[in-house]
Amino acid sequence: MNNFTLDGKHIIVTGGSSGIGLGAAKVMAGLGARVMLVARREARLAEAVEEIRQAGGEADYYAADMSVRDQVIASIDAAEERFGPVDGLFANAGAGGPRASIVDYSDEDFDDIMTLNLKSLFWAMKRVLPSMIERRDGAILATGSLASERGFSDTVGYNASKHAVLGVVRSAAAEVARHNVRVNCILPGVIESEMLTDLADQLGGGNYDEGLKIIGRMAPQGRVGTSEELGNVAAFLLSDAARYVNGQSWAVDGGILGTIITGG
């Protein structure tokens, strides 16, 4: 029996106006999901929803800042009013924060990145889980990072927040598994996104394509991954085909975390 479909499922995608979130939303809508996109930029959200609808998918949007608790709750309220109970949450909103050594990293920057990357996940989970538990059905997927498993220099706030995201996922998975609700974490490697665009411009000295080649060489597969490739895995993890996958960190990284290249 093939359960790799999202037909009729209501899925919220935060950070859904561009990059990984939008790529995943397109895949999920193509598999039959009713997708609610949440992000700050309303104009970009409207464009994203129109793209999905033009392709035959069902989608709507709600503009919200995921670093503000009341707006997180309001976005989920609006999603339920539009599409009914939430079957899946892709908690993808996040940011990289500043690059600075620990001694130069400001308290304010640390608090800001922890709020957006971590607290927003906590708030959203608390809001959607009661209904999922009552219905004994639902799945949550959080966007972690290679920084959920490794230590990166000059980015202590981001690194700490993404380690913590994985901890929250594992704790929630342990709590709700008995209610037939699953919680997992996806770890993007070098995947096309706005964050990656900025890095490519820096590394390429303003030459985006050259910077992208440099970044791509980080992965054993020798290239940057697409948002659609990550979206395929995200869709699977939120589908019934993954109904026995719980509490996992799933890397989509071209082999970075799992390999060591020793020869040419």
Q: Which residues of the chain have pLDDT under 50?
A: 1
Q: What pLDDT sits at residue 238?
A: 98
- DSSP E strand boundaries for 51-91: 58-63, 88-91
At residue 122, what is the residue type? F
Q: What pLDDT sits at residue 202?
A: 77
Q: What pLDDT sits at residue 263?
A: 64
Compute φ and ψ for 174, nearest 5 degrees: -65, -35
Q: What pLDDT sits at residue 222?
A: 86
Compute the radius of gyration of the chain from its Cα atoms.
18
Indicate which residues carry an active-site annotation: 158
Q: For tokens 């980015």, name the residue.
A: 155
Compute φ and ψ for 191, nearest 5 degrees: -115, 140
Sign of CA dihedral 239, 240, 246, 251: negative
Q: What pLDDT sits at residue 43?
A: 97
Sign of CA dihedral 53, 47, 254, 33: negative
**CA separation for the pair 19, 95 (Å, rounded):** 12
Q: What pLDDT sits at residue 213?
A: 82
Strand partners, 58: 34
pTM: 0.94
Q: Which domains can be identified in the chain, with CATH numbers?
A: 10-189+226-247 (3.40.50.720), 191-224 (no CATH)
